[in-house]
Copies of this chain bind each other. A is one copy, B any other.
C-alpha cells in the first residue's frame, strides 16, 4: 500500500473510533484509563526491551546524550506514564456539559453542549511518554487520536500503542480510538495534514522547526505553541523583596522551560536600589547576565545585550536585563519582543496592575507571581496537552476542555422561522 492510501486508511479508522468513543460513558472511559495504566506497569519489562532497540538505533545514529535521555524508558518512567493516565482518569469528564441555556422570545430554549472534537492528530518528537499522555487526554475528552511519534522512538511507541489498543478492545471500545502511523517518512505527515474533513485538529509537540513545518502545510486547524520569550517587569512601586524572589524563581527554578523569564525589565526609578542585590543573587546561581547600556553603566560586569537577544528563548541560565523609563515603556517592550506566552508585573499599585493585565496580550498575564506558574496543574486544569500561544480556540495551558468544543442545542415545541 502506498503512503497516501495507508494514512487515509488509518484516518478513516480513527474517524470510526471517534464516532464510537463520543458516546461512551464517563464511567467506562475512566475505568479503561486505569486499566491502561495497570497494563503499562504489568508490561514494563517488554516496554523497556522495545525501548532498548530505539536507544541502540539512536546511539548508532550518533544522537546527543540529551536526546537519548529523552528517549529512554525505565521502570520509574513507565510508572510515571501510568500515573499520568490515572490522574487523567480522575479528572471530571467535560463531555455533555450544557451551558447558557436561555429562553428566546419565541419560547424555544437555546444553549450550548460540550462535545468531543472528533479525530485529533498528535505529531511529536522523541519522548515516548507523549504516546500515553496524549492518548489519555484525547480519550477522556471523547476523541480518537492519531499518533505520529518520532522515528527514533518507533519501537517504544508501537509497544505502548499495542498495549493501549488491546486494553481498549478488551473493554469493548473501538480500537480506532488509538491509531498509530507506523511509517517513518515525512511524507506520511504531509498526507495526514491534507485530510480535512476526516481529521479535525492537529497538535504538534516538539521544536520550532517541526511546528513551523506542520503549520505551513496543514489544511486542518493546528493548536500550537512556539517559543516562550517571557518577561518580568519590576515596577517602581514594587515590593522589592517580592520582586527579587519572583524574578529569581522565574529565571532559575527551571530555566529550560517555556515559561522561564528571558528578559527582566526594571523601572528606572528603582534600578539603583533593586539591581545590585538582584544581580548578586543571580550571579551566585550561575546566571549569565546581559545588560542594556543603562544597566551596564550601573554594573560594568554585565555583557552588553543586543537587539536580537531580546527575541531569544535561551532555555538556559542566561538573562537580559533592561532598564525602562516607566510601565508604558515596559508594555511597549513586551508588545515588541514577547512571544505572548507568560509575562508578569511586580507592583503594589492597583491601577498599574489592572492596566498591565489589560494591555499585555499574552496567554497568561501575572500580577505579583512568577511566570513559572503558567501550567495546567498550577492553574487547576489538571494535566495539559501543551500551552497554546495562538489566540484561536485555546490560549495558555490546554487541558481537557480545550480538547472539546461547544455545539448549539435547541429545545422547541414547534417553533419555525417567521
Contacts and interface: CB of A to CB of B under 8 A. Distances in A.
Closest 3 CB pairs of A and B: A369-B412, A249-B416, A372-B417
A316 interface: no
A76 interface: no
Nearest to A246: B416
Given A242-B413, A363-B408, 10 more contacts: A19-B335, A104-B378, A104-B379, A118-B361, A248-B416, A253-B417, A364-B410, A367-B412, A392-B393, A392-B405
Contacts of A248: 416
A23 interface: yes
28 contacts: A19-B335, A104-B378, A104-B379, A110-B379, A115-B358, A118-B391, A196-B215, A200-B392, A201-B391, A216-B219, A221-B390, A242-B414, A245-B416, A249-B416, A250-B416, A366-B409, A367-B411, A368-B413, A368-B415, A369-B410, A369-B412, A370-B417, A372-B417, A373-B415, A375-B417, A378-B417, A393-B393, A396-B407
Contacts of A391: 117-118, 200-201, 405
A358 B408 contact: no
Contacts of A196: 215
A363 B407 contact: yes
A226 to B, nearest CB: 9
A362 interface: yes
Given A104-B378, A104-B380, A378-B104, A365 B407 contact: yes
A96 B249 CA distance: 29
Interface of A: 19, 22-23, 96, 102, 104, 108, 110, 113, 115, 117-118, 196, 200-201, 215-216, 219, 221-223, 239, 242, 245-246, 248-250, 253-254, 335, 353, 357-359, 361-370, 372-375, 378-380, 390-393, 395-397, 405-417
Q: Provide the main secondary structure of the chain A interface.
A: mixed
Contact of A414 (B245, B357, B392): B245
Nearest to A414: B242
A246 B246 CA distance: 61
Each complex incorporates copies of this chain amounting to 2
Contact of A357 (B216, B374, B409, B415): B409
A351 to B, nearest CB: 14
Contact of A239 (B23, B246, B369, B414): B414
A364 B396 CA distance: 28
Given A200-B392, A369-B412, A391-B200, A380 B113 contact: no
A330 to B, nearest CB: 15
A213 B413 CA distance: 41
Given A365-B410, A416-B370, A392 B392 contact: yes
Nearest to A243: B414
Nearest to A392: B221
